[in-house]
Amino acid sequence: MPARHSWEIPMLIVVIMLTVFAYAIALLLLATGNFDQYVLLLVFAPVLIWLGRGVLYATQRVNGVKMSPTQFPEGHRMVVEAAARFGMAKVPDAYVVLGNGQINAFASGHGFRRYVAVYSDLFEIGGAAREPDALAFIIGHEVGHIAAGHASYWRQLGMFLVPFLPIIGNSLIRAQEYTADNHGFCNRHTGAPAAMGTLAAGKYMNTLVGFDEMADRAAMEKGFFVWLVNAMSSHPVLTWRMWALRDRSRHGRLWWRPSPPAAAGMVPTGGYPSSYGQTPALPPKSVP
């Protein structure tokens, strides 16, 4: 199974503790009659999250094109294979939504249902993927969010304070993204360079992106503002993210840039002390 980023659970515990503390303070203020809109926001957070997840899921159900063996069959097959690869008992629903030039995908859920949504710009006319390996990596990344529990209602409730914790909250989200990248790598490791190239330059110029050349810059680009941009981002900056996908000997960096390899031009290799990064020898089993 893909490795969970080493900082994800510790950061999750910190965020949940802070969120629970904030909930307790909000309830105390409400009980004493000293409250404002922020206190009410915290008190009604369970309902607001439930409503938001329900509306988002309904939006995909009524507006998105649901992947199936007859609609976007290539993407549907990738979702089924990713779910099998990660040992999931049920295949999540998958929808294609209008991208309008944007390259994106996300995973969420409502109730007992989980789903992924892929922006249409990752496909070409006719429903075929422009870069099949890249799409398989991206779908593996999103299904990985579900497999790792990131789409859980209770997890999102415990992380409700994340938007109000710019450094700590974003660090947790970045750790989750590294975990999802590990799933994407496990699902289709050959798609990592094209997927990152697509995020960097778009689907038409992704083949012009030198993956190693861009990853090398993670150790060279330095300074306070480089640190700040990463620290305030919900996703690892692309150069660091590419470095982590190339260097399988350690988990992706959350706060400090990677160290240059010992020898100039040497591409880091290796693997986590688990089955992470290994290409499964057998095809995944079918999932109902």
pLDDT digits (tens, 9 = 90+) for 33-57: 777 888 888 888 999 999 999 999 9
Q: How far apart are CA 69 and CA 158, in angstroms?
A: 37
Cβ pair 255, 6 in contact under 8 A: no
Give the model's pLDDT for residue 277.
44
Q: In the predicted model, what is the mean pLDDT of the chain?
A: 86
Give the model's pLDDT for residue 1.
72
Q: How far apart are CA 14 and CA 204, in angstroms?
A: 41
Confidence of residue 101 (pLDDT cuts 50, 70, 90): confident
pLDDT in tens, 22-38: 999 888 888 887 778 88
Give the model's pLDDT for residue 80.
95
| Average pLDDT value for residue range 57-61 | 94
| Average pLDDT value for residue range 106-117 | 94
pLDDT in tens, 236-259: 999 999 999 998 888 989 999 888
Q: Which amino acid is at 226?
A: V
Give the model's pLDDT for residue 276.
42
Closest C-alpha to 173, from 245, 106, 262: 106
How crowded is residue 205: how many other Cβ atoms within 10 Å of its Cβ? 11
Give the model's pLDDT for residue 261.
61
β-bridge pairing 113-119 and 105-110:
antiparallel
Low-confidence winner among 7-16, 115-124, 189-198, 262-271 (lowest mean pLDDT):
262-271
Of 278 and 135, the one with more pLDDT: 135
Alpha-helix residue ranges (DSSP H) falling in 148-165: 153-158
Give the model's pLDDT for residue 266.
52
Confidence of residue 125 (pLDDT cuts 50, 70, 90): low
Tell me the percentage of the chain whose pLDDT exceeds 70: 89
Q: How far apart are CA 142 and CA 79, in angstroms?
A: 9
| Average pLDDT value for residue range 89-106 | 90
Closest C-alpha to 232, from 180, 179, 173: 173
pLDDT in tens, 204-241: 887 888 898 999 999 899 899 999 999 999 899 999 99
Confidence of residue 93 (pLDDT cuts 50, 70, 90): very high
Q: Which helix (H) or strand (E) holds 96?
A: strand 93-97
Distances (CA, A) of 75 to 33, 91, 158, 287: 53, 13, 32, 16
Give the model's pLDDT for residue 32.
83
Give the model's pLDDT for residue 169.
92
